[in-house]
Amino acid sequence: MMDMKLQTKTKNRVGLDIGTFAIKMLEISGAPDKPMLIGMGLKNISGPSKGSISDSIKALADEAKITSREVNISVSGPSVIVRFISMPRMKEEDLKSAIRFEAEKFIPFNINDCVVDFQTLTKDERENKFNILLVAAKKEHIKERIDLVEEAGLSVHIVDIDSFAMTNAFTRNFPNLGSEKTAAILNIGATSTNLSIVRGDAMAFVRDVSIGSNDLNVTISKDSGLSMESAEELKIDPKDKMQEIANCTKTLLSSLLDEVKLSFGYYENQSGKSIDEIYISGGAIGLVGLDEAFQDALGSRPSFWNPLGFLDASSAKLDANVIDKIKNSFAVSAGLVLR
Ligand SMILES: Nc1ncnc2c1ncn2[C@@H]1O[C@H](COP(=O)(O)OP(=O)(O)OP(=O)(O)O)[C@@H](O)[C@H]1O
Ligand SMILES: [Mg+2]
């Protein structure tokens, strides 16, 4: 007879999201259908007095009481290219070289310097074609990330893409979104915003927009003559400068949402479907005037979602208030522990 313990005993999984502003780390254990939150933590790595990123990862792993030494990480930014392509139906073994050939057309770097991977999303029987999600990432960029982790005394299990991880966390939290519903998910960070469009449980569009909350520091410091550090403080707590900060935020959000609107338009044109709901996460969702900016630019207000909603946090020796305060920043790491 099969040992039941063996069946449910699975290795702990750790997600490590190395952002430009903060590192996020999350550990879960238990069977995939009822994962438990074991440890989590967030560490700010921006500012002049901070040490190396590796040291911060190491310190965070200790502070967050992470037990496993093996972590899942992700990459993003200009060295990562994601495309949805369609290919004529062909044998699996031919597909790989055909895709590599196809990829060369739009990868702005030498394909030999890239890791190329793909996933067949759907097989369109009627039109005799495959819809494929293609990813190319610069080897050098991946290696840099792995080195950071190894210098911190940890090892890398899986390398994912920020926006894919975020999307996985979302679909895990909303398994019943409905096949006829389209949701847009936005993760607004420090230097970039991950955008993904999900229909039912399938990812239909992804894109990173290089606009984030750090851009606001630049504007505030330009307008007020303050240092970047003071601008960061003022942004979080505007005190008597509320109106000035609100104006700067409005400008930033309108350029971000212009890009988002373009992507929505592209998706709507391609698919003939419209976006039903918008969900947001990321460290920057506390920006003043966010709701109104979305209403003005996209015609609807965004909803918040809890990236950790699918986890049982009851046994975690963590302060519920702390979890609540930082949970919005964990969309990427919550997706990483699912791999
Ligand atoms: N209350 C707030 N209002 C506005 N911005 C905020 C607030 N709290 C945090 N932020 C900003 O959120 C950003 C950090 O968010 P997050 O941790 O998601 O970014 P990141 O993952 O490090 O960055 P990226 O993914 O772009 O590399 C910082 O720019 C920070 O200033
Ligand atoms: Mg981020």
| pLDDT value at residue 170 | 97
Among the bound ligands, the one closest to the CA of 192: 1
pLDDT number for residue 50? 66
Residues with CB under 5 A from ligand 2 (ion): 19, 189
Amino acid, single-letter form, for residue 307? P
Q: Which pTM was predicted?
A: 0.94
- For residue 74, the CA-to-ligand 2 centroid distance in Å is 10
Q: What is the CA radius of gyration of the chain?
A: 21
* Cβ atoms < 10 Å from Cβ of 143: 11
The model's pLDDT over 135-165, given as tens digits with 9 standing for 90+, comes to 999 999 999 999 999 999 999 999 999 999 9
Mutate to test the pocket of ligand 1, among 235, 250, 327 (most ligand atoms within 8 A of CB): 235
Does pLDDT of 60 surpass 80? yes
Q: Provide φ and ψ at 152, rounded to 5°.
A: -85, 5
pLDDT at 4: 52
Ordered domains of the chain (ranges, CATH): 4-77+142-175+307-336 (3.30.420.40), 80-139 (3.30.1490.300), 176-304 (3.30.420.40)
Residue range 198-204: average pLDDT?
90
Q: Which ligand is nearest to the CA of 288?
A: 1
- Among 40, 213, 329, which is best to mutate for testing ligand 1, by the most ligand atoms less than 8 A from CB? 213
Q: Which residue's CA is minimally distant from atom 19 of ligand 1?
A: 189
- Nearest atom (ligand 1) to Cα of 162: 25
Relative to the CA of 191, which ligand 1 atom is closest? 26
Cα 202 to averaged position of ligand 2 atoms, centre (Å): 22
Percent of the chain whose predicted confidence (pLDDT) is above 90: 82
Looking at residues 168-174, what average pLDDT do you find?
95
pLDDT band at 6 (very low <50, low <70, confident <90, very high): low
Ligand 2 centre to CA of 145 (Å) is 14
pLDDT recorded at residue 176: 81
- Whether the pLDDT of residue 9 is over 90: the answer is no
- Name residues contacting ligand 1 (CB within 6 A): 19-22, 189-192, 212-214, 232, 235-236, 282-284, 286-287, 329
Q: Summarize pLDDT for 120-136 with one digit per residue, the tens.
A: 888 888 889 999 999 99
Per DSSP, 312 falls in state: B
DSSP states of 201-215: TEEEEEEEES--THH
- Nearest atom (ligand 1) to Cα of 194: 25
State the pLDDT at residue 335.
98
What span, in angstroms and rounded, lies between the C-alpha atoms of 46 and 310?
Answer: 30
- 36-70 in b/e burial notation, b at 16+ Cβ within 10 A? bbbbbbbbebbeeeeeebbebbbebbeebebebee
Residue 189 CA to ligand 2 center (angstroms) comes to 5
Q: How far is the CA of 208 from the centre of ligand 2 (A)?
A: 11
SS (H, E, C) 123-183: EECCCCEEEEEEEEEEHHHHHHHHHHHHHCCCEEEEEEEHHHHHHHHHHHHCCCCCCCCEE
Location of structure tokens 């310190």:
59
DSSP state of 113: G
Distance from the alpha carbon of residue 181 to the mean position of ligand 1, in angstroms: 29
